[in-house]
Chains A and B, each alone.
Chain A
Amino acid sequence: MIKVLKPGLATSVQDLGREGYYHLGIPPSGALDQYALRAANQLVGNPAGAAGLECTLVGPELEFQADALVAVCGAQMPVRLDGVEQYPDTAFKVRAGQVLRFDFPRAGARAYLAVAGGIDVPQVLGSRSTYGLGALGGWQGRKLVAGDLLPVGVASGKSRAGASLPMALRQSLGGEVLLRVVPGLYYDRLTATAARDFFSDAWTVGSEADRIGYRFKGGSALSFQPREQPFGAGSDPSNIVDSCYPIGSIQVPAGLEPIILHRDAVSGGGYAMIGTVISADLDLIGQMQPNQQARFVEVTLEQALEARRSYKKRLAFVQRLFT
Chain B
Amino acid sequence: MNAPIRYSFGADEHLFAEVSDSMSLEAFFKGMAVTRAVERLQLDGVLDVCLANASFQIRFDPDRIAPQALLEAVQGAEAEAVAERSLHTRIIEIPVLYNDPWTHETLMRFRDRHQDPDATDLEYAARINGLADVEAFIAAHSGAPWFVSMVGFVAGLPFMFQMVERERQLQVPKYLRPRTDTPKLTLGHGGCFGCIYSVRGAGGYQMFGVTPAPIYDPQQQLDYLKEHMVFFRPGDIVQFKPIDRDAYDQAVDEVESGRFTLRIRSVEFSLDAFLADPVGYPQSLQEALA
Partner of B218, one of A124, A239, A270, A312: A124
A73 CA to B54 CA in the complex, in Å?
Answer: 43
A277 CA to B22 CA in the complex, in Å?
Answer: 27
Chain B residues numbered 1-41 whose CB sits less than 8 Å from any CB in chain A: 8-14, 16, 18, 20-24
Per-residue CB contact flags for chain A residues 240-271 toward chain B (1 = under 8 Å, else 0) read: 11111011110000000000000000111110
Q: For the complex formed, measure the closest distance between the CB of A121 and the CB atoms of chain B, giving whole angstroms.
A: 13
A249 CA to B47 CA in the complex, in Å?
Answer: 17
Are B12 and A244 within 8 A (Cβ)? no
A269 nearest CB neighbor, chain B only: B153
Task: List, in ascending order, chain B residues with CB within 8 A of A235's CB.
Answer: 173
Are B63 and A278 within 8 A (Cβ)? no
Assess whether B230 is interfacial by the CB under 8 Å rule. Answer: yes
Beyond A133-B199, A242-B150, A305-B62, is A276–B155 a contact (Cβ under 8 Å)?
no
Q: For the complex formed, measure the closest distance between the CB of B155 and the CB atoms of chain A, giving whole angstroms.
A: 4
Chain A contact surface mostly: mixed
User: Which of A18-26, A57-65, A97-105, A170-178 contacts its partner?
Assistant: A18-26
Interface size class of B (residues with CB under 8 A): 35 or more
Beyond A133-B154, A234-B191, is A304–B51 a contact (Cβ under 8 Å)?
no
A22 CA to B49 CA in the complex, in Å?
Answer: 8
Task: List, in ascending order, chain B residues with CB within 8 A of A233's CB.
Answer: 21-23, 191
Are B16 and A25 within 8 A (Cβ)? no
Task: List, in ascending order, chain B residues with CB within 8 A of A269's CB.
Answer: 153
Residues of B within 8 A of A (CB): 8-14, 16, 18, 20-24, 47-57, 59, 62-63, 67, 150-157, 159, 161, 166, 173-174, 190-193, 198-199, 201, 216, 218, 229-230
Are A25 and B154 within 8 A (Cβ)? yes
Are B50 and A22 within 8 A (Cβ)? yes
Partner of B11, one of A20, A243, A301: A301
Are A231 and B157 within 8 A (Cβ)? no
> Can you give 8 A-B contacts (C-beta < 8 A)?
A22-B152, A26-B156, A134-B199, A182-B12, A242-B150, A247-B59, A279-B12, A308-B63
Assess whether A273 is interfacial by the CB under 8 Å rule. Answer: yes
A232 CA to B11 CA in the complex, in Å?
Answer: 27
